[in-house]
Each structure stands twice: as C-alpha cells, then as structure tokens.
Structure 1
Amino acid sequence: MTDLIATVLPDEDTPPPAVIVNDGFFPDIDPAMFREQHRIRDAVTAERAREALIAAMLAVYRDLAAWSLGHRAAGVKTLADVRLSDGSISTIDGTNTLVLLYRRAVFTAAKAEVVERYRDVDLTGAGQRKAEDLEPSVTELRRDSIHAIRDMLGVTRTAVELI
C-alpha cells in the first residue's frame, strides 16, 4: 500500500509575514525567521504563528520589565546597545548576544504554545501515540525560554535550598 501525502503549495504572490514591531528597546520579531528556525509547518497559519509570537513577546517582556527599565533609565536605547559590566558589547556572528538570547526566549516560548495548540489536530493511529511525546517537548521549550531569560538577567539557572 502506498501512502499519499498531500501538501498545499503557498501562492507565489503571497508576501512574507510582516515583522512584528516591538517597543523600540527590544528587537522586532520576524515570523519568517521563527518559522524557519523552529520548523513551523504549513498547517500552522500565519495568523496563529503571529499570535503565538506576540503572546511569547508579552511573557518575555513581563519577565524582563524591571531589568529593561533599569537599562532604559541609564540611557540605553536598544537591547543591542546594552553593555556588559566591563563596558564591552558581547557579540556572536555580529549580533549582540542579548539580542540572540531574547530571540531564543521568544521563539522557544512561541514554539511551546504552537505545539500545545496543535496537539488535537489530526491525531490518529501513530499520531495519537505521539501526542504523549509532545509533553516533554513543551516542557523543554519552556525551560529553554526561561534559561535564555535567566542568562540575560545574569542569574543562575537553578536554585538549591537545604531542607
């Protein structure tokens, strides 16, 4: 028996999704970059991917609000301009590492939301068995987002208490 896989080809006239404009301090988010880096399938509409990204941006902003306000009060205009304690700007491949971490925090949080929302879509047979496998993936994505935020804040990733 041969399996038939049907795919929908995007219209050639369809423009790429519009960049989500951020608040000026934090960088804008490119939905096309999110889709490419996190292999977001075509079944996830552009609108739903955008909604997940905006929700993630809000969550990450909430976690970084006090930290970013401190930098803004010190006269720093954008995240890309934030300097380390020694006055230098850390970059990888020409991009400020804080921008890379911010993107990672947003993208992994958005991917977690997309995975959660699409669990119930077309799960039959092998797909139903794989639904349980998504839970660790969501947990790992949320963990990665929290780690990126904690790295930005310069705090450790774990807290240990003696009982």
Structure 2
Amino acid sequence: MTGLIATVLPDEDTPAPALIVNDGFFPEIDPAVFRKQHRIRDAVTPDRAREALIAAMLAVYRDLAAWALSHRAGGTRKLDDVRRSDGSISTIDGINTLVLLYQRAVFTAAKAEVVERYRDVDLTSAGQRKAEDLEPSITELRRDSIHAIRDMLGVTRTTVELI
C-alpha cells in the first residue's frame, strides 16, 4: 500500500516582499531573507515583519551614524566598500563581513521585536509560562544585535570598570 505525500508548492502569484531600501551607504534589507533565516512564521504578517525590520534599521543606524559619517567623509560610498586598516576587505562567502554584521544586527533586533510583540496577546496560564520562557531569547537577540554593532565599530563587547 502506498501513502499519499502532499507537497505544498509556493504560490507563484504571491510576490516576494519588496526590499527595504536603505540610505545608500547601508545595504538594502530583504524581508524574505529575514523570514527564512530567523524562521518567522506566517502568523507574522509581511507588514508586521517589515515594520519590525524598519524599526531595527533605525536603531542600528542610530548606533552607527557617526561611524558611517566618518567613512563617508573619507570617500567611502557604501558599507560594502569599507576596508580594514591594512587596506583589505574582509569577506566571508564573498560578502564583506561588515555587511554580514550589519544584516545580523538588523535581523536579530527585528526578531527580538517580533518575539516581544507577539507575546502581548491574551494567553492561558500554560501560554504565559511559555512566554516567560521566551524572555532570555529576547535578551539574547538584543545582545547579538549589540555584539554585531560593536564588532563593526571595532570595540570590545564588554566594558569593565573598577568600582
């Protein structure tokens, strides 16, 4: 006896979400890549995912504005062209590592917002316990975003002061 295996094919009539155009220096952000890499479920609408990505882009930009301005002042037109102090461009899989770090900073900040916002629905007590289990996840996502930004800036991830 043979079983039936159902395959769900992507709807060809559904267009891929539009890229979020950035300021020219920082790269565009692809919501489809965000959804795939961070396993964003269909319960999160495309508009909501886009809103979270834009909020994350704004937050990351705020942290990198002075750094980006100094590179622009030095004649660098886009993040993909930023070179290390020895004049080389560091790449992984053919992509400038700064672009990868920027994308990580934005994606993890956006994922933290999505997880946080989707907790605020009316929950049963079992659902509330599950939401409380997500708390470290939100903190870890925000930490990962900050680490990516600090890596871009070339500063240490930890600040220690003597009291």
Structure-2-length-normalised TM-score: 0.91
User: What aligned pairs does 1:16-31 form with structure 2 within 5 A after superposition?
Assistant: 16-31=16-31
Q: Percent identity among equivalent residues?
A: 87
What is the identity, as a one-letter code, of the residue corresponding to 1:22? N
2: distance between equivalents of 1:79 and 1:103? 11
- What residue in structure 1 maps to residue 87 of structure 2? 87
Deviation at 1:10, TM superposition (A): 7.1
User: What aligned pairs does 1:47-62 form with structure 2 within 5 A after superposition?
Assistant: 47-62=47-62
Give 3-state SS (helix, strand or coil) of 1:43's partner.
coil
Give 3-state SS (helix, strand or coil) of 1:162's partner.
coil
Deviation at 1:126, TM superposition (A): 3.4
- What residue in structure 2 maps to residue 69 of structure 1? 69
- What residue in structure 2 maps to residue 111 of structure 1? 111
* RMSD (Å), alpha carbons: 1.4
2: distance between equivalents of 1:17 and 1:124? 33
Deviation at 1:125, TM superposition (A): 5.2
- Asked if residue 129 in structure 1 is aligned to residue 122 in structure 2, the reply is no
- What residue in structure 1 maps to residue 140 of structure 2? 140
Deviation at 1:13, TM superposition (A): 1.1
1: distance between equivalents of 2:132 and 2:74? 47
2: distance between equivalents of 1:67 and 1:16? 32
Deviation at 1:122, TM superposition (A): 6.0
- What residue in structure 1 maps to residue 153 of structure 2? 153
2: distance between equivalents of 1:40 and 1:123? 20
2: distance between equivalents of 1:80 and 1:150? 17
Structure-1-length-normalised TM-score: 0.91
Structure 1 window deviating more from structure 2 (118-127 vs 142-151): it is 118-127
1: distance between equivalents of 2:44 and 2:66? 33
1: distance between equivalents of 2:52 and 2:44? 10
1: distance between equivalents of 2:59 and 2:80? 20
- Alpha-carbon deviations, 1:55-102, whole Å to 9, x = none? 000000000000000000000011000000000000000000000000
- What residue in structure 2 maps to residue 35 of structure 1? 35
Deviation at 1:121, TM superposition (A): 3.5
Aligned residue pairs total: 155
Structure 2: gaps of 5 or more residues: 1-8
